[in-house]
Amino acid sequence: MSETTIEKAAPPVVEFRTSPDSYRHFAVEYDGDVATVKLAVDEQGGLVPGYELKMNSYDLGVDIELYDVVQRMRFEHPEVKAVVMTSGIERMFCAGANIRMLAASPHSWKVNFCKFTNETRNGIEDATANSGQKWIAALNGTAAGGGYELALACDDIVLVDDNSSTVSLPEVPLLGVLPGTGGLTRVVDKRHVRKDRADLFATKSEGYRGDTAVDWGFIDATFPRGSWDEEISKRAKAAAAESTRSGQAGEGVQLTELQRTIDGDSISYGHVSAQIDRARRTVDITVSAPTEQPPADAEAARAEGVDYYPLALARELDDLILHLRANELEIGTWVLRATGDQDLVLAHDAKLTEWADHWFINEVNHYLKRTLKRVDVTSRSLLAIIEPGSAFVGTLLELALAADRQYMLEGVYEDVDADAAPATIRLTEVNDGRYPMGNGLTRLQSRFFGRDEDLEAARAVTGQDLDAAAADKAGLVTLALDDIDFEDELRIVIEERAALSPDALTGMEANHRFVGPETMETKIFGRLTAWQNWIFIRPNASGPDGALRRYGSGQKGEYNLERV
């Protein structure tokens, strides 16, 4: 299949659920408290026909497997304290994202691919920071572009000293694009490389090797092949000895296949459902509260495994977000609802706090955090609807706070159920610390950024059930409306959203959501994503004579030389 044919063809439906018995690109070995992840990409295993994954290059399918590896390492193997990531191919760690795949992919595919790979790299860093699993990049060959960016997500980078293997970020000189998964940011913000040296590095397509790479800070160490295995083993054992991870072998929770049903435009899980309205380009997403009290203790929660409500919720929301982002590009507005017993939500939240030091509960808390972060960086308009029967309290309230607007019904629907109890919401301590956004602030802090008095006023009502008037007064909802105006207002805002430019909305929403301090994450998902989004559609990169298109042809890209 030609590149032109790939671009014109409808993109495939992307399935993010996988398991080790389906891996085509990764092999994982366990040895006590050390695991080894080997990347050996199947050249014929591309997610889309038309390219070969040569030189351990990757596409979205490879990264879907890596994400699964990271998740299973955290939940299924609590005994693992150090992870060595290396290559199953001699003299080539990873050549990065497959160039032919990128050149032939539609714009939306490129952008979604980069976003997911960024989230996966962040997941590796989160495992190091919050699970006590230190990742070591054992580069037994060249790491170029996205291959080096994969290494940058690790805490420790070691390169073989064989007079040929290098690390490099060649995207700017060779392809006319930026390193797409945070390489520019991590080099200066994480590894603290001087900006002049970083500039040299990012424009030197062949990169650096050996002692220079160590001296300038691109890697942490380099060893010859003769002592390679011994040195990597030493570093892994030392990392494991320093780990704070408390889980033991045999205590892991198996991430069994997630059950999902798709029936036409309906998507359903155990606690999450979605109904797509293609005419209005919306999807109604409903999250259900738990129906039972939490288990007796943390060990009982671990024994419930994937049926433990907070873990089940995180898995289902995670999968739905990924499915909608990749496969429903024209569904631009997500309408969020939470229903069920508020007291049961709060009961589970209380135990997540009480048992936070248990390794399994710690993983669940951080998985919920990462899933909510995935909501934040999703380029869709988010509306939260709060009406009788809503369960927007505690953890579930985070979904409403993540939304761009919140609409709350005053009283009840008189013509539907006049005897219903009016909707209420409740802030709890989990809304003020447990689930930070990528900017390092909570969604509550982000909502009232620079308005300290309003933030303190909202904090003052923590623990109280707030009806529409009280929630409006506390600044926690956008509009509180009676049932005469409620449905008309929602109809108007949804129609208005559908009439606006999706490109402009994406930029607007991203700017509003991430207020305050800039962090490595906000740079990656804000600055990098925005610039790469633009560069991907510029002729200098993606035009018929652009560098990305011409790569490998022997011809250099032709550039419009205006600096804009």
Q: What is the pLDDT of residue 306?
A: 98
- Kindly tell me if the per-residue pLDDT of 403 is higher than 90: yes
CB 437, CB 514: distance < 8 Å: yes
Strands 405-409, 479-481: parallel, antiparallel or unpaired by DSSP? Answer: parallel
The H-or-E segment that residue 157 falls in is: strand 156-160
**Within its chain, how far is the Cα of 495 from the centroid?**
29
In this structure, the answer to whether residues 234 and 362 fall within a common structural domain is no
In this structure, the answer to whether residues 315 and 453 fall within a common structural domain is yes
Q: Is 363 a catalytic residue?
A: no
Domain hosting residue 390, numbered range: 265-506
Residue 214: partners with Cβ closer than 8 Å, 6 or more residues away: 220, 221, 222
- Is residue 356 domain-resident? yes
In this structure, the answer to whether residues 103 and 135 fall within a common structural domain is yes
- Reported as a single tens digit per residue, the pLDDT across 26-64 is 999 999 999 999 999 999 999 999 999 999 999 999 999
- Kindly tell me if the per-residue pLDDT of 497 is higher than 60: yes
Strands 134-139, 82-87: parallel, antiparallel or unpaired by DSSP? Answer: parallel
The closest of 522, 506, 505 to 514, measured between CA atoms, is: 522
**Number of domains making up the chain:** 2
CA distance 138 to 160: 8
- Is residue 523 domain-resident? no
In this structure, the answer to whether residues 293 and 144 fall within a common structural domain is no
Residue 488: partners with Cβ closer than 8 Å, 6 or more residues away: none
What would the two tokens of residue 433 be? 């610390």
CA distance 216 to 223: 16
- Is residue 545 domain-resident? no
Find the catalytic residue in 79, 149, 410, 521: 149
**What does pTM read for this prediction?**
0.96
Q: What is the pLDDT of residue 433?
A: 95
In this structure, the answer to whether residues 105 and 52 fall within a common structural domain is yes
Q: Is 149 a catalytic residue?
A: yes
The DSSP bridge partners found for residue 208 are: 167
Find the catalytic residue in 171, 363, 387, 521: 171
Q: The sheet that has 333-339: what strands, in order across it?
A: 261-263, 266-268, 272-277, 282-288, 333-339, 381-386, 405-409, 479-481
- Count Cβ atoms below 10 Å from residue 449 Cβ, excluding itself: 16
CATH code of 338's domain:
3.90.226.10
- Reported as a single tens digit per residue, the pLDDT across 158-209 is 999 999 999 999 999 999 999 999 999 999 999 999 999 999 999 999 999 9
CB 10, CB 60: distance < 8 Å: no
